[in-house]
Amino acid sequence: MDRRQFLQLSSMAALSLYTSPLRGLQTGGSPARQGPAKKVMILGAGISGLAAGLELLQAGHDVTILEAQLRPGGRVYTLRAPFSDGLYAEAGAGRIPITHTLTLDYVKRFKLELDPFFPQSGADVFLWRGQRQVVPHGHDPDLTHLNVNLTTEERAVGFGGLAKKYLGPLQDKARALPAEAWPLPSLAAWGNISLGDYLRQQRASPDAILYLSQGFESDSLLDFVHDSVSHAVPMLWKIRGGNDRLPHAMADALRDNIRYGAVVERIAQTPTNVEVTYTNAGSHHRLLADRMICTLPFTVLRDIEVRPQWSTNKAFAIQNAYLSPVTRAYAQTKTRFWEADGRNGFATVDQPMEVWSPTYNQPGKRGIVMSYTYEDLAREYSSMSEEARVQRSLDLFEQIHPGMRDNFEGATTWSWLNHPFSKGAFMVTKPGQFRTVVPYLATPEGRIHFAGEHASPWSGWIQGALHSGVRAAREIARGTA
């Protein structure tokens, strides 16, 4: 299982329902410019900033993107170093659901190819309280030989049936609503309760809650169920060669419009223009424009000086939006020794964590096993030294794949919480925040428009970032805000 990959898959009928609301925002459909070209600055060359830039450029506007790092893509970031033999693994976005038609549109537009994210065969490892089982992919572990504390009803459906039992009817309701109607007002009550409290009300056992929530117990039920609908699909893809090939292709089309190494420090606006101050290699610069699209994660934006101050509601949203911490640890091995007995390298463990082997379909003998750690455990890993993270990860990988230490060549780790230009992985909406935060994420402030995964119906997904970028660009192009 992954964070929210539930074994109950949606039907094709549900898929068509889910894709139809996106038609209005398909790529390549930029509206013709109305009036003179506007000078627009975009803060951030992540997926949302790039999508906005492409859209505005296509409509004939004058676009400048300021990006703090020396690469595009932000949280879509493929690690190629320090691995050998051309191997790679994702630090950020991993999988693209088959229902994310806007993302798949961009993949197609830039002529990129897709591979299944999960191996379609082989066996997964299931590790629970130190007991290990090798289970054919897509099957359930044998509970009679596993030390798990599930109720009698839960044992009857097995781990694979827990999502359907507790969340299936909720997923069906969420799936039936148009995605762009987010935050789904008819389900507003689910926004006031946490996933953990809901599952406890349903008398779910602690092990069932651990398995289902993967650390996201304090997420609102509405946010969790809505997000799980994107995971519960018949196919999840990854981009061949690494997911960062998408932002790199988009950035290539905008290469004359991006200023890399430009760290925004101050934002100001008057009734007639917007201005930023940014540093580049230690020197200060100013940039003026008619309009701005700000895609910075709010965890970063809250530390940037702004004049005049944000409106009260916006300031509250910027200050309180919650970005979940995530860490990853990667171990490179001499061989994919786990394949000798049919294991595909992936595992389910009794921790808020996923274990992947991203090299399962990459050429070569060497392999990578990696962890994807969530919430409190990620916070703990983020506070540890690199060496301590590696040793702790290797201890776990050795339990999952005995022989790991003998085959180990080297490791690296990544913390999104510690990354200065993200300060978290993706937005998660806590109970109550649908009233106090969500309504103010995307609303413009004067000449400043907002994009980014947080300001979209798909927070935590590439599709959300794309959608928000196109939406913000069209606000400006159409002069609707």
Q: Does 330 bind ligand FAD (CB under 6 A)?
A: no
Q: Can you tell me which of 110, 260, 316, 421 binds ligand FAD, judged by CB under 6 A? A: 421
- Of 55-63, 159-167, 397-405, 463-471: span binding ligand FAD (CB under 6 A): 463-471
Please give the Cα distance from 79 to 362 (Å, whole number): 14
Structure tokens at 6: 């539930």
Q: Rank residues 208 and 249 by Cβ distance to ligand FAD and give the closer one.
A: 249
Q: Rank residues 43 and 87 by Cβ distance to ligand FAD and give the closer one.
A: 43
Q: Does 287 bind ligand FAD (CB under 6 A)?
A: no
Q: Rank residues 182 and 416 by Cβ distance to ligand FAD and give the closer one.
A: 416
Q: Can you tell me which of 63, 96, 246, 477 binds ligand FAD, judged by CB under 6 A? A: 96
Query: Is the CA virtual torsion 228, 231, 232, 233 positive or negative?
Result: positive
Please give the Cα distance from 355 to 180 (Å, whole number): 32
Tokens 């991993």 correspond to 94
Q: Rank residues 107 and 465 by Cβ distance to ligand FAD and give the closer one.
A: 465
x/- map, 129-168, ligand FAD, by CB under 6 A: ----------------------------------------
**Angle at Cα 414 formed by Cα 357 and Cα 216, nearest 5°?**
80
Q: Does 358 bind ligand FAD (CB under 6 A)?
A: no
Structure tokens at 340: 């000798």
Q: Does 94 bind ligand FAD (CB under 6 A)?
A: yes
Give the C-alpha distances (Å, rounded to integers) separating 316 from 218, 221, 432, 441. Answer: 20, 22, 13, 10
Closest CB 176 distance from ligand FAD, rounded Å: 22
Closest CB 46 distance from ligand FAD, rounded Å: 2
Q: Rank residues 190 and 372 by Cβ distance to ligand FAD and give the closer one.
A: 372
Q: Does 354 bind ligand FAD (CB under 6 A)?
A: no
Q: Does 462 bind ligand FAD (CB under 6 A)?
A: yes
3-state secondary structure of 1: coil
x/- map, 200-239, ligand FAD, by CB under 6 A: ----------------------------------------
Q: Does 431 bind ligand FAD (CB under 6 A)?
A: no
Could you list the beta-strand ranges (E) of 6-111.
Answer: 39-43, 62-67, 78-79, 89-90, 96-97
Closest CB 96 distance from ligand FAD, rounded Å: 6
Report the 10 Å Cβ neighbour count for 240. Answer: 14
Cis peptide before 308 (omega within 30 of 0): yes
Q: Does 93 bind ligand FAD (CB under 6 A)?
A: yes
Closest CB 97 distance from ligand FAD, rounded Å: 7
Closest CB 21 distance from ligand FAD, rounded Å: 18
Per the DSSP assignment, residues forming a β-bridge with 62 are 39
Q: Which amino acid does the sequence have at 286?
A: R
Number of residues that bind ligand FAD (CB under 6 A): 40
Q: Does 374 bind ligand FAD (CB under 6 A)?
A: no
Q: Does 68 bind ligand FAD (CB under 6 A)?
A: yes
Q: Does 423 bind ligand FAD (CB under 6 A)?
A: no
* Cβ neighbours of residue 96 closer than 8 Å, sequence gap 6 or more: 103, 104, 107, 114, 117, 236, 237, 238, 239, 243, 462
Say if residues 357 and 346 touch (Cβ distance below 8 Å): yes
Please give the Cα distance from 462 to 180 (Å, whole number): 15
Q: Can you tell me which of 42, 44, 227, 397 binds ligand FAD, judged by CB under 6 A? A: 44
* Cβ neighbours of residue 10 closer than 8 Å, sequence gap 6 or more: 18, 99, 171, 175, 229, 232, 233, 234
- Give the interface with ligand FAD as residue ranges (CB under 6 A): 43-49, 66-69, 74-76, 92-96, 262-264, 295-297, 300, 326, 416, 421-422, 425-426, 452-453, 460-465
